[in-house]
Chains A and B, each alone.
Chain A
């Protein structure tokens, strides 16, 4: 049990291997349930990888012998695992080195391209992300019109099968730019921009038309690998994640989702989503918001607009969660808690901010029956931080569990730290 820092007062540890699912009791923790509720002196009991007990420590008496491990958290904070959706974690290791980049496949419509099987469980990057509390990620392909199919993965495991939380959770559609340059040569002639947009939009409609018809056939006389991958999108077992930011795009995406009667459309980005909140609510489309730590996209936008956006959607009643796509997105994924922290500073309550990177995310990607909050019956995928995990100064992960198994709260960076501290005798 060398994972558990000496800070913690471990009452009892049974003799079992690290791989076995133990029964664990976490005591006296400041429990952030993930659904907005708080239990100030919380107690969490874990058996067979599941949470089977959530109580107030002060009002619950337990029997020591019932538990393999008992940890007194002495007021430390318990959080459900944070989730990094729309991420290339596990699909790339060193951005500049092409050999390590496994997220952008050739082709315009690639729903059949699946991230799950390329997911690198031993990624050094992932090891530095989970140690800040971000323990699940949506491994997401990039590029093209439909980039591919993502899967929800745990940031620890023996192999990708073992690490899979939700296989093929959805396809990712990049909505064409409506008003901004896309960098293509045709766009150099700006007067064609609008025309191009309509053409590109039409092409998407055609592909979905084709896919939907294909999905509705009971007997297929052809076997199309692309279209096969689309079937689940119309049946509701795969989400359709649509990457879009501009107002024109958002309005069109809403129409598009209604037109094809998509069971689970999700907007990723949504910079202008505050302008269409009612439409989003009516169409029941949730938003994975553009990176909180990003610059305003227009000269006159409020300087702190991206900081504020989560609170705007919260107050409007739109379902949303945070995501972190952008520059250096893999290494930066460990800062997701602080992006939530910034959203908290700019209008969300602390528990709303926590929800925006845990339960809300799990609801949007469809794994909330097992993940996202610390409630009885759910998977014991959670962590303990010395203090407020949304603040840089107090985010200190001391205990982390994925499906009831302790995972290392150490990473190679900490090892290098220890090694060189010794060099300098500090």
Chain B
């Protein structure tokens, strides 16, 4: 091919050429270029065999079978080659500087350190515009070009509102020409990025911040505010551009989608590769998901001590990830591909072909790289296909790369040619016969690249005339085409050092050249390979297409997941001891019937067994309503505390519920059916709670209890004061209990002012009036003062408990629940007067100073006084044996068994205002039911079955089977990995992450292994 490459000169731009002054006479260039005899893949649906493509400057002016190039056209014969439109990379930072933090400090930075009239939070910077700072980076461009890309949407990947991206052509000259679309898209994410500001510190914080920003944007514009905010001005300018929202997990797409709906925006997404795991929900996404295809490498599983520790979820993802594009496409979700995370072009194509092997059609794969990105960037009139009139941006391959391995030969970028010269890498290993000055020896060369070695086999005559074979080492060096061999020889021909230099033709396995013999003679030599050594290269052809993987998804896609999520069945439990939690008390030999997810019968009287009912004989066993954990932090992703500010009422745990937490299953196995997922206790007014049912195998949205009462977490004491956070954390208000009180008064004052402003607005003649700024934090706080939102308040010592009740009384609101409340026994009478309930630990204490007077009799005293008392976990481990914790009420303070049991069932239901649907066994209530082997308070009690809304989500029999099923599934996938390991394919080592759990004072997005928390 070199013959015509050499003929061609770089063709530069016509349109703008005149604007840039030229030093010397202008470059000579052809006006027309015609590519003949090529396979032209015009678009995903149209291919021309033996066609001609004619370009003039940066435009395609003709394409087809019968194209007659003008006489002055340069003709390029593309016989046997394939031409495909340039791919468009949507996620890239080529040519842009790496963002660096403005400010480092070990002390918390509460305010923005960015100078200028920008938004108050450093993670919101829509003013970062890629086109203003784009510079051509040849090396980075070339990496993309080698994969087949000709255009890239480049942006600075940092922060929540990241700014705009510019669509650039990947050409190397004339930056003005390369920026195809200066303001192409706007980028967002949930990641705070390099900002050192304390807020936000959690994903729910990011969500709230972004929502507030969008509200601010509207208000700022509508109100024609007299203030200047550069960030909001810039955001307003770009708000009609296409959105790309970067996500790191399937559920983040749903979280972003909620924001899009709220503001009526259309988000496109950068996916994370595990979208298939949530396909039942994600199939409703109408906009495009840009998919990274950096499928996980297999682990090195040769050591069974290590491989046994690899979680099943990791293994299953490894197996299923390549099916992700096909599964989405099958469900009509529009997809793009990005090369994000690809180590090399070879790897990129390997993964494209892997996607095709899993069922994705070649044309869909092509569309995901061309017309789909062109469509979302609104450049489909110019790019994406090779139709007449479009831009001359395409790539020439040695053959169709979607069908098998092909060489990328050259890339045409807006009519400019870029030849890809691969440095030649000869494979020289093998067995040869070398002929030096007419003498023949067998040699062997092993290794590759710059790690070559060799051996020469000679024979010497010994003194007794017998022959002795000797093997000598050869030093081998290969630079491009030049090979040098150097070895010692001692036989009848020569004695001493032989040095040879020659040229390689590895295709034919021939070396030839000249060199110096030990006696100083300059001789000719050659070598011919007669046997190649092992070649490890894997077949780059598309293997058999296999779509059977789709059925291997479990819900959730991990150990104990369901292949098919079960549904409710009509079930009759007979002959059980039934703890009703109602006036009937504990019934012996009683029956419980579940129909349509509800309890339809409880009692010892007559009943009829409904049709098709499953009848379970529960003789000798106990049945209770499900345990309700009033205080839990499981099933939450990316942070349980928004501790960046003293008040964070705007954040909601409901935004970040995740169903993929194995602790959901573990707690079901302990009889828990519902939980209040609370914000942590890092600040006086925390975030909104999520009230969930433990629906294993379900989606985040379905776990939320419908029409649940609204709750918010408040907190007092050491965590709020940051007492145990180290000496650097002494800046954020409040640092004393005295300050905590004032946070509540301050919140009230701000709400008053806010409400007045809105009241004034709604009373006035609305026409022409501008609505006041909507403040998400104050909206939620107003709900508290309007008694529309209940407070669960983390508290320990009597002074602060007393204080908050005084604050509440004086501001005319109620505290619903004090949680932890370990000194509640000291002020139980005052609590009763205020009308607050208590959710406490059975016997925790001694972990910090404020729990020094905690006593295990606390629950019993408060119960005796007449408070509604619950026992909660606040701990993933304890959450699955809350029955034992309730039983401690009998030991410490002599509660009756029924009263003790209510502390983990009916009482938390009352505290959560869910007792009309949960908390007892009563006709009409939700069928959240636990079947126990023994008295649930006894140390012997085990859960046999847990039903949530009538669906059996834990069954000890299935559990038993799943234990071995999990191991079989593991073994099956590990053996596939082992196969890959044995083929010598790339692999990564496994090491086990410590399991992390959220507690009350866990800061940041990762769970902690910290002790002394809560």
Asked, given contacts A96-B1012, A179-B305, whether A299 binds B313 with beta carbons under 8 Å apart, the answer is yes
Question: Known: A179-B305, A303-B665. Is A293-B877 also a contact (CB below 8 A)?
Answer: yes
Instruction: Check B966 for interface membership: any CB of A closer than 8 A.
Output: yes
> CB distance B311 to A298 under 8 Å?
yes
From the candidates B847, B939, B994, name the one contacting A338 in the complex (CB within 8 A): B939
Known: A300-B967, A396-B891. A95 touches B669 (CB 8 A): no
Q: Tell me, rounded to whole Å, the shortest Cβ–Cβ distance linking B274 to chain A.
A: 16
A181: contacting residue among B306, B878, B994, CB under 8 A: B994
Report the stretch among B5-13, B497-505, B616-624, B852-860 that lies at the interface: B852-860
Please encode chain A, from 234 to 277, with 1 for each CB lying within 8 Å of some chain B CB and 0 for all others: 00000000000011100100000000000000000000000000
B1011 interface hit (Cβ, 8 Å): yes
Interface residues of A in 185-238 (CB under 8 A from B): 187, 190-191, 193-194
One of A193, A295, A421 near B989 (C-beta < 8 A): A193
Assess the B887–A393 pair: CB atoms within 8 A. yes
Q: How large is the interface on B (under 10, 10 to 19, 20 to 34, 35 or more residues)?
A: 35 or more
A180 within 8 A of partner (CB): yes
**Known interface pairs A300-B966, A303-B669. Does A416 touch B312 (Cβ–Cβ under 8 Å)?**
no
| Complex contacts, B865 vs chain A, CB 8 Å | 424, 426
B846, B853, B966: the one contacting A331 at CB < 8 Å is B846
Asked if residues A331 and B891 are in contact (CB atoms below 8 Å), the reply is no
Q: Is B829 an interface residue (CB 8 A)?
A: yes
Q: Is B884 an interface residue (CB 8 A)?
A: yes
Q: Which residue of A179, A303, A391 contacts B880 across the interface (Cβ within 8 Å)?
A: A303
**A108 interface residue per 8 A CB criterion:** no
Residues of B within 8 A of A187 (CB): 991
Q: Are B312 and A94 closer than 8 Å at their CB atoms? A: no
Chain A residues with CB under 8 Å of B313's CB are 299
The reply to whether B989 and A426 form a contact with Cβ atoms under 8 Å apart is no
Chain B 919-948 interface residues, beta-carbon cutoff 8 Å to A: 937-942
**Which chain B residues numbered 818 to 857 have a C-beta less than 8 Å away from chain A?**
825-826, 828-829, 843-849, 852-853, 855-857
B899 vs chain A, min Cβ distance (A): 12
What's the Cα separation between A93 and B881 when bound, in Å?
27
B875: A residues at CB distance < 8 A:
327
Q: How far is the CA of A248 from the CA of B718 in the complex (A)?
A: 41
Chain B residue contacts of A346, Cβ below 8 A? 942
Q: A187-B991, A248-B305, A392-B939 are in contact. Are A335 and B849 (CB under 8 A)?
A: no
Residue of B nearest to A193 (CB): B991
Asked if B941 and A345 sit within 8 Å, CB to CB, the answer is yes
**Cα A34 to Cα B559 with chains together (Å):** 40
- Determine the distance from Cα of A295 to Cα of B988 in the docked complex, in whole angstroms: 28
Query: Which residues of A are found within 8 Å of B724, using beta-carbon distances?
Result: 96
- Nearest-neighbour CB distance to chain A for B828, whole angstroms, equals 7
From 327 to 368 in chain A, residues with beta carbon under 8 angstroms from any chain B beta carbon are 327-328, 330-331, 334-335, 338, 341-342, 344-346
A395 on interface, CB distance cutoff 8 Å: yes
Q: Indicate whether A283 reaches chain B with its CB closer than 8 angstroms.
A: no
Does any Cβ of A come within 8 Å of B309's Cβ? Answer: yes
Which of the residues A125, A194, A303, A413 comes within 8 Å of B666, measured between beta carbons? Answer: A303
Whether, in the assembled complex, B776 has its beta carbon less than 8 Å from a beta carbon of chain A, the answer is no
Q: Counting CB contacts under 8 A, is A9 at the interface?
A: no
| Complex contact B718–A424 (CB within 8 A) | no
Indicate whether A369 reaches chain B with its CB closer than 8 angstroms: no
A59 part of interface (Cβ distance < 8 Å): no
- Complex alpha-carbon distance, A392 and B308, angstroms: 36
Cβ-neighbour of A391 out of B308, B560, B662, B939 (below 8 A): B939
Cα distance A299–B559 in the bound complex, in angstroms: 6
Q: Which residues of A contact B864 (CB under 8 A)?
A: 424, 426
Interface flags for A400-426 (1: CB within 8 Å of B; 0: not) read 000000000000011011001101101
In the assembled complex, the CB of B643 is this many whole angstroms from the nearest CB of chain A, namely: 17
Distance to closest chain B CB from A352 (angstroms): 14
Inter-chain contact B849/A97, CB cutoff 8 Å: yes
In the complex, what residue of chain B is closest to A326 when comparing beta carbons?
B1011
| Interface bracket on A | 35 or more
User: For the complex, would chain A's binding face be called helix, strand, loop or mixed by DSSP majority?
Assistant: loop
* Known A97-B849, A328-B847: A293·B881 in contact at CB below 8 Å: yes
Q: Is B890 an interface residue (CB 8 A)?
A: yes
A304 within 8 Å of B by Cβ?
A: yes
Closest to A394 in B: B891
Q: Is the CB of B938 within 8 A of A181?
A: no
Provide the residues of chain A in CB contact with B856, threshold 8 Å: 413
Bound-state Cα–Cα, A193 to B305, Å = 14
Name the A residues within 8 Å of B940 (CB-CB).
344-345, 391
Residues of chain B within 8 A (CB-CB) of A330 are 846
Contacts of A194 in B (CB 8 A): 989
A315 within 8 A of B: no
Task: For the complex formed, measure the closest distance between the CB of B837 and the CB atoms of chain A, giving whole angstroms.
Answer: 17
**How many Å from the CB of B198 to the closest CB on chain A?**
22
Chain A residues in 8 Å Cβ range of B665: 303
Residues of B within 8 A of A247 (CB): 305, 308
B760 interface contact, C-beta 8 A: no
- B847 x A345 contact (CB < 8 A): no
A421 to B857, CA, bound (A): 10
Q: Give chain B nearest CB distance to A341 CB in angstroms.
A: 4
CB of A294 within 8 A of chain B? Answer: yes
B540 at the interface (CB under 8 A from A): no
A297 at the interface (CB under 8 A from B): yes
A43 interface hit (Cβ, 8 Å)? no
Residues of A within 8 A of B309 (CB): 179-180, 246, 298
Smallest Cβ-Cβ distance to A344: which chain B residue:
B939
CB–CB A94/B853 < 8 A: no
Compute how far the CA of A93 lies from the CA of B847 in the bound complex, rounded to whole angstroms: 8
Q: Of residues 165 to 190 in A, which have CB atoms within 8 Å of B's CB atoms?
A: 178-181, 183, 187, 190
> Within the assembled complex, what's the spacing in Å between the Cα atoms of A296 and B1012?
21
Instruction: Give chain A residues whose Cβ lies under 8 Å from the Cβ of B849.
Output: 94, 96-97
CB distance from B992 to the nearest CB of A (A): 4
User: Could you tell me if B877 and A295 are in contact, using CB atoms closer than 8 angstroms?
Assistant: yes
Q: List residues of A (303-341) whose CB comes within 8 Å of B's CBs.
A: 303-304, 327-328, 330-331, 334-335, 338, 341
Question: Distance (Å) between the CB of B456 and the closest chain A CB?
Answer: 37
**Least Cβ–Cβ distance between A179 and chain B, in angstroms:** 5
B74 within 8 A of A: no
A345 with B669: CB separation less than 8 A: no
A295-B666 contact, Cβ under 8 Å, with A96-B724, A344-B939, A395-B891: yes
B854 CB → nearest A CB, Å: 8
How far is A7 from B1012 in the complex, measured between Cα atoms in Å? Answer: 38
CB of B289, distance to nearest CB on chain A (Å)? 27
Q: In chain B, residues 864-893, which have Cβ atoms closer than 8 Å to a Cβ of chain A?
A: 864-865, 875-878, 880-881, 884, 887-888, 890-893
Q: How far is the CA of A188 from the CA of B1011 in the complex (A)?
A: 22
Most interface-central of A328, A334, A341, A342 (chain B CB within 10 A):
A328
**Is the pair A93, B846 in contact by a Cβ cutoff of 8 Å?**
yes
Nearest 9 interchain pairs by C-beta? A300-B559, A96-B848, A341-B939, A180-B992, A417-B857, A331-B846, A95-B1012, A300-B966, A392-B887
Chain B residues in the interface with A (C-beta under 8 A): 305-306, 308-309, 311-313, 558-560, 662-663, 665-666, 669, 718, 723-724, 825-826, 828-829, 843-849, 852-853, 855-857, 861, 864-865, 875-878, 880-881, 884, 887-888, 890-893, 897, 937-942, 959, 963, 966-967, 970, 988-995, 1011-1012
Can you sample 15 A-B contacts with CB below 8 Å?
Answer: A190-B990, A194-B989, A295-B666, A299-B312, A299-B313, A300-B312, A303-B669, A327-B875, A330-B846, A331-B844, A391-B887, A391-B939, A393-B937, A394-B891, A414-B855
Given contacts A96-B723, A96-B849, A251-B305, 16 further A-B contacts (CB under 8 A): A94-B846, A95-B848, A96-B847, A193-B991, A293-B881, A299-B559, A300-B559, A303-B666, A327-B1011, A330-B846, A331-B845, A341-B939, A414-B857, A416-B855, A417-B861, A424-B829
List A residues at the B interface (Cβ < 8 Å): 93-97, 124-125, 128, 178-181, 183, 187, 190-191, 193-194, 246-248, 251, 293-300, 302-304, 327-328, 330-331, 334-335, 338, 341-342, 344-346, 388, 390-396, 413-414, 416-417, 420-421, 423-424, 426
